[in-house]
Amino acid sequence: MSVMDLGKVAVLMGGASAERDISIMSGTGVLQALQSRGVDAHPFDPSQRELSKLKREGFVRCFIALHGRFGEDGTVQGALELLGIPYTGSGVMASSIAIDKVMTKRIWLSEGLPTPGWQQVSSVADCEVAFAQLGAPMIVKPAREGSSIGLTKVLQRQDCAAAFALASQDDTLVLCEQFISGDEVTVPVLGSGTQVRALPVIRIKAPEGNYDYNNKYFTDDTQYLVPCGLPAGEEAAIQALVLKAYAVLGCRGWARADVMIDARTRKPYLLEINTSPGMTGHSLVPMSARAAGISYEDLCVLLLESATRDYAEPSV
C-alpha cells in the first residue's frame, strides 16, 4: 500500500483520561513519523473537537494514540465504527475488555492462562481482607487505568487505607493483586489472525524494582534489556503465552502484554494487556520493534496500514 492510498489521516491524541500527557507525547511522535513518510496526517484531540468533524473534514483513517479511558476502552472505537472510519488497534469488544483488568483476568483464567491471584474490592475493609488472603506484598490499583497510575505496593495491613484511597481516586473499580517477585518483562504483538507475531521480549530493570509512572516516562534510570537475556526456550514460551492471551481477548492490530516471571519457579504470570500502547521516546513497542529490524517510522506506517473496523460497510 502506498502512502497515497492511506488518504487523509487523523492521529487521535490527548483525550480526557489520566494519561492525557503521555498520549500527547505518543501522538506527537506518531504524527511526525507519518508526516516524514509522506502521509497526509493531522493531529486531532477528541477532548477539544467533536469526533463527527472527522467525517466532515474528510478524514478516512485514524491512528489511535489515545491511552486509558475514552480512547483505549472501546468508546472511541465505537464512535469510529458509527462514522465508518477505519482505525488502528483492537475493536470495540476487545478494547473494552482489555482496559478492565478484572474482566481480562476472568477471561484469561477461563482459558487456563496464568495470572496472579486477585480480588476486586470496594472498601478499605475489603482491601484488608484481600491483604490477609493474598499476602504481602500486595498490589492495589485502579482496574481501568494504565501507566501505573494510582498503583501502590502494600507491605503492611495499615497501608491498605491509603492504597485504596489512592486507587479509588481514579476508578470506582479497585483491584488487589498478589505480587509476583521476579523478572518483569513485556511483549509487544503485531498483526491479526494468521499474520500475528510476537516481537522480542524486553526485560525491565527499574530502580529498586519500582517501575512506576515516573520511571516509565521521565527518567533514564530504568534499564530495558533487549535481547532480554532469558534462556531461548523461556523467551519463546512467554511469547507463545502472550499470543494466546492476545487471541482469547480478540485483540487485533497491535498490543503489548506485561508479564511477571516468578523468581523461584520461573512460571510466567500475565498482568495486563495494553491495546493502545505508548509510542513515546521511552516506550517499549518501538524499542522491541527496533530490535526486530523495524524502525519507528516503519512501525507507524505498518500500524496505520492495518487500520480496519469491526463491521463491513452496511448495504443500502
The answer to whether 272 is a known catalytic residue is yes
pLDDT value at residue 218? 54
Q: How far apart are CA 140 and CA 247, in angstroms?
A: 27
Q: Which amino acid is at 81?
A: E
Residue type, position 205, single letter: K
**316 residues of the chain, pLDDT tens digit each:** 677 789 999 999 999 888 899 999 999 999 999 999 999 999 999 999 999 999 999 999 999 999 988 899 999 999 999 999 999 999 999 999 999 999 999 999 999 999 999 999 999 999 999 999 999 999 999 988 765 788 999 999 999 999 999 999 878 889 999 999 999 999 999 999 889 999 999 999 977 665 455 555 556 778 999 999 998 899 999 999 999 999 999 999 999 999 999 999 999 999 999 999 999 988 999 999 999 999 999 999 999 999 999 986 544 4
Provide the phi-psi class of 163: left if phi over 0, else alpha when psi is between -120 and 50, else beta.
alpha
The 8-class DSSP code of residue 5 comes to H
CA geometry: angle 158, 150, 239, nearest 5 deg? 110
Alpha-carbon dihedral angle through residues 30, 195, 89, 58, given to the nearest 10 degrees: 70
Q: 274 an active-site residue?
A: yes
At 312 the pLDDT is: 60
Catalytic residue chosen out of the listed positions 73, 170, 272, 297 = 272
Query: Letter for the amino acid at 210?
Result: N
- The span from the first CA to the last CA of the chain, in angstroms, equals 28
**Among 226, 277, 284, residue whose Cα is nearest residue 253:** 277
The catalytically annotated residue of 87, 217, 246, 269 is 217
CA–CA gap between residue 160 and residue 131 (Å, rounded): 8
Query: Distance between CA atoms of 52 and 70, rounded to whole angstroms?
Result: 15
Which pLDDT belongs to residue 315?
46
Q: What is the pTM of this model?
A: 0.91
87 phi and psi, to 5 degrees?
-145, 160
The per-residue pLDDT for 212 is: 53
Known catalytic membership, residue 305: no
- Tell me which of 278, 296, 297, 306 is the catalytic residue: 278
Does the active-site annotation cover 89? no
Annotation marks residue 256 as catalytic: yes
3-state helix, strand, coil in the chain (%, to 5): 40, 20, 40
Domains of the chain: 3-88 (3.40.50.20), 97-114+181-300 (3.30.470.20), 118-178 (3.30.1490.20)
